[in-house]
Amino acid sequence: DADVTQTPRNRITKTGKRIMLECSQTKGHDRMYWYRQDPGLGLRLIYYSFDVKDINKGEISDGYSVSRQAQAKFSLSLESAIPNQTALYFCATSSGRDNQPQHFGDGTRLSIL
Amino acid sequence: AQKITQTQPGMFVQEKEAVTLDCTYDTSDPSYGLFWYKQPSSGEMIFLIYQGSYDQQNATEGRYSLNFQKARKSANLVISASQLGDSAMYFCASPAPYYGQNFVFGPGTRLSVLP
């Protein structure tokens, strides 16, 4: 089983719809992150969380919200989806140690028509 | 590092040859780490190799090694004996102090290995 699991893997939806992307992890990490990837721009941070009571905005949080339901679960919501939110979305976890990588889920391909 | 630059949008290499993918970074922090990830066409992000700013030796992991030049602020990835399965996007990344030590990523380099 994957250490970081994202659902769904793919989603096509219409403008104005509410969408939730879910992430769960078995790494035991406190830190969780949501990124989006657009061609030519690398990954950009949307939100991050250090524990269930700690939620913080990232570089591009407008139009998104998150929920940390448990140490292992971190969900990303698009309240009213728009076409320029079409992207590949990644959840990641981290131990926070300087020499440790972030661990990524397999990504969710989201298309908004 | 606060900013990561990868100047090669695309690279080609012949199978079994070595290839170097460039990464430069901008930071004023005395202590930092640099990470390389591989993203195949299936989309997942795979961690390859890490270099710490205080490491005395260049990092190596199998066919991957880093050419770390601290004074030049560069951490280039070297892939030896390229294989067809190495065709992918490659990202250089580093933790940043702004958002909970999130990783700042470069724009990536697309590597194509030719048979």
Say yes or no for a CB contact (<8 Å) between A43 and B100.
Answer: no
Report the pLDDT averaged over residues B5-20. Answer: 96
Determine contact: B33 vs chain A, CB below 8 A. yes
pLDDT at B91: 96
User: A107 contacts in B (CB within 8 Å)?
Assistant: 43-45
Q: How confident is the model at residue B31 (pLDDT cuts 50, 70, 90)?
A: confident
Q: How far is B83 from chain A (nearest CA, A)?
A: 23
Q: How far is CA B40 from CA A94, A103, B45, B87, B105, in A?
A: 22, 16, 8, 7, 16
Return the closest-CA partner of residue A83 out of A39, A17, A33.
A17
Q: How confident is the model at residue B95 (pLDDT cuts 50, 70, 90)?
A: confident
**Which residue(s) pair with A12 in the sheet?**
A111
Question: Looking at A32-36, A100-104, B7-11, B95-99, which range is the least confident one?
Answer: B95-99
Burial letters A43-63, b for 16+ CB under 10 A, else e: bbbbbbbbeeeebeebeebee
Lookup: tokens for A107? 């990504």
Q: Which of B31, B99, B105 sits opposite A42 (nearest CB)?
A: B105
Lookup: tokens for A39? 């061609």
Q: Rounded distance, CA B74 to CA A66, Å? A: 35
pLDDT at B1: 59
Return the closest-CA partner of residue B89 out of B26, B2, B9, B5.
B9
Q: How far is A88 from chain B (nearest CA, A)?
A: 8
Q: Is A84 helix (H, G, I), strand (E, B) or coil?
A: helix
Contact call for residues A58 and A46 (beta carbons, < 8 A):
yes
**Which residue(s) pair with B3 in the sheet?**
B26
Q: Is A59 helix (H, G, I), strand (E, B) or coil?
A: coil
Determine contact: B97 vs chain A, CB below 8 A. no
Determine contact: B90 vs chain A, CB below 8 A. no
What is the distance, to the nearest Å, from the Cα of residue A74 to the centroid of all Cα atoms in its chain? 7
Q: Rounded distance, CA A51 to CA A47, Å? A: 13
Report the pLDDT averaged over residues B63-82. Answer: 95
Q: Is B7 helix (H, G, I), strand (E, B) or coil?
A: coil
Return the closest-CA partner of residue B2 out of B70, B110, B101.
B101
| Count of other CB atoms within 10 angstroms of residue A9 | 12
Report the pLDDT averaged over residues B37-65. Answer: 94
pLDDT at B100: 65
pLDDT higher than threshold 90 for residue B90: yes
Q: What is the pLDDT of residues A31-73, one digit of tens each?
A: 999 999 998 778 999 999 998 999 999 989 999 999 999 999 9
User: B100 contacts in A (CB within 8 Å)?
Assistant: 31, 33, 48, 50, 56
User: A90 contacts in B (CB within 8 Å)?
Assistant: 45
pLDDT higher than threshold 80 for residue B101: no
Q: Which of B43, B99, B106 sits opposite A42 (nearest CB)?
A: B106
